A and B are shown apart, each in its own frame.
Chain A
Amino acid sequence: DAGITQSPRHKVTETGTPVTLRCHQTENHRYMYWYRQDPGHGLRLIHYSYGVKDTDKGEVSDGYSVSRSKTEDFLLTLESATSSQTSVYFCAISGLAGHNEQFFGPGTRLTVL
């Protein structure tokens, strides 16, 4: 299995509070991604990174920000959590641009009350 960990694995928070999710990889892969998974929607891309300090938006980026200060860590921040951000969040990594497959972390289940 690819060396990807996510923390925390579960979190319950209240509306309006900031939340940061962490993705850590030991594979030294260049590309990292954040997806959210919701019933009936599959997985949707939030943000992705193509190198240290290089990030771009995905299809559902509103309300989220990311940072990548070193190769191994990719942080997802909800500045002010809302109930609509209750979801399961997955981090993925990829070694190459183009067609290379992505490897997924175990996910973080976030509940916003």
Chain B
Amino acid sequence: AQSVTQPDIHITVSEGASLELRCNYSYGATPYLFWYVQSPGQGLQLLLKYFSGDTLVQGIKGFEAEFKRSQSSFNLRKPSVHWSDAAEYFCAVGAHRQAGTALIFGKGTTLSVSS
């Protein structure tokens, strides 16, 4: 069965430090992978996506992610975290249905940024 695992429930990073959020997936075919961010009380905003091609993808707000098929991972990175990055981050895999594609989400990682 398709699944997404985000091993870290909560991470605290100092402002200006680098960030890496982990995501592992289980999916039989070539996965479509996404990272979304959710600020408190808000909906989800797409940060970046991977469909095929270059395994290092760039997203909005200075985020990037690397797809590693051998490790079934799609980790999110940012070289220098800003206080405004504090939010909840969700990794998702696109799962093909009989019609359309649904997203299977991980349980999320909450990022806190300390000054």
Question: Which A residues lie at the B interface, using CB under 8 A?
Answer: 31, 33, 35, 40-45, 48, 50, 54, 56, 58, 90, 92, 94, 97-107
Contacts and interface: CB of A to CB of B under 8 A. Distances in A.
Given A42-B108, A43-B90, A43-B105, A50 B43 contact: no
Given A56-B97, A99-B32, A101-B34, A45 B102 contact: yes
Nearest to B99: A50
Interface stretch (B11-19, B44-52, B66-74, B76-84): B44-52
A39 to B, nearest CB: 9
A103 B103 contact: no
Contact of B44 (A48, A50, A56, A104): A104
Interface of B: 4, 32, 34, 36, 42-46, 49, 51, 90, 92, 94, 96-108
A102 B103 CA distance: 8
Contacts of B104: 45
A103 B46 CA distance: 8
Contacts of A102: 46, 103
| Binding site secondary structure of chain B | strand
A49 to B, nearest CB: 8
Nearest to A50: B99
A54 B98 CA distance: 12
A101 B107 contact: no
A44 B43 contact: no
A40 B99 contact: no
